[in-house]
Amino acid sequence: MAQPKIQLGRDPAFDGFLGAVVGEDKTGASVTVLSMLARLDVDPWREASELSSMPEAPAQKRLEALLARFKDVPALVPDQGQGALALLDLLPRRTISAGPSAGGAVPQIMNLPFGAPAYWIIATVLFLVWTVALTQGN
């Protein structure tokens, strides 16, 4: 029987990006983007989320800067620009709607995780049931 995949509240849309191998470290072990970001003391899921919501050029510069800081993979240095672009292609791209500019509205990020509102509804229902149970003395 196959083991179920445990998500621990992380967006699985970033799995391809975070699981991509950036090279081998000095011991010969494969290093993934997730491992690289963790070794740089950067939250991998937050960074993936921020990179996916950025326009391509700033996201590429930011990822190149992270790759340049990472010294555990000696072969990573030669072409960080192409490597960064290839890695960014693995991210889900979020589209930003322009919205009305006259009212000074901030652009909205579209394609939010589908289940996010459901968590709040379930949490609210559970809280209300708990509150009613407490008031009835059960």
**What is the predicted pLDDT for the residue at 114?**
52
Residue 33 has a CB neighbour count (10 Å cut-off) of 25
pTM over 0.75: no
Establish if 4 belongs to a structural domain. Answer: no
Stretch 57-79: mean pLDDT: 82
Amino acid making up residue 25: D
Range of the domain at 56: 12-97
Establish if 76 belongs to a structural domain. Answer: yes
Helix (H, G, I), strand (E, B) or coil at 108: strand
Domain count, the chain: 1
Establish if 103 belongs to a structural domain. Answer: no
Establish if 3 belongs to a structural domain. Answer: no
Establish if 32 belongs to a structural domain. Answer: yes
Calculate the CA 116 to chain-centre distance: 15
* Cα-based distances in Å from 99 to 92, 107, 113, 114: 21, 6, 20, 22
**What is the predicted pLDDT for the residue at 77?**
56
Tell me which residue has tokens 């921020």.
50
Least confidently predicted of 7-16, 45-54, 67-76, 95-104 = 95-104
Please report how the helices 80-88 and 56-69 are oriented relative to each other, as an axis angle in degrees rounded to 10.
Answer: 120
Q: Measure the CA–CA gap between 50 and 48, rounded to whole angstroms.
A: 6
Establish if 86 belongs to a structural domain. Answer: yes
Establish if 134 belongs to a structural domain. Answer: no
Tell me which residue has tokens 């559970």.
126
* Cα-based distances in Å from 93 to 12, 18, 50, 69, 136: 14, 14, 10, 25, 49
Closest CA to 78 of 88, 67, 89: 67
Least confidently predicted of 8-17, 35-44, 73-82, 109-118 = 109-118
Between 52 and 102, name the one with better pLDDT. 52
Closest CA to 33 of 90, 108, 114, 106: 90
Between 2 and 60, name the one with better pLDDT. 60
Establish if 93 belongs to a structural domain. Answer: yes
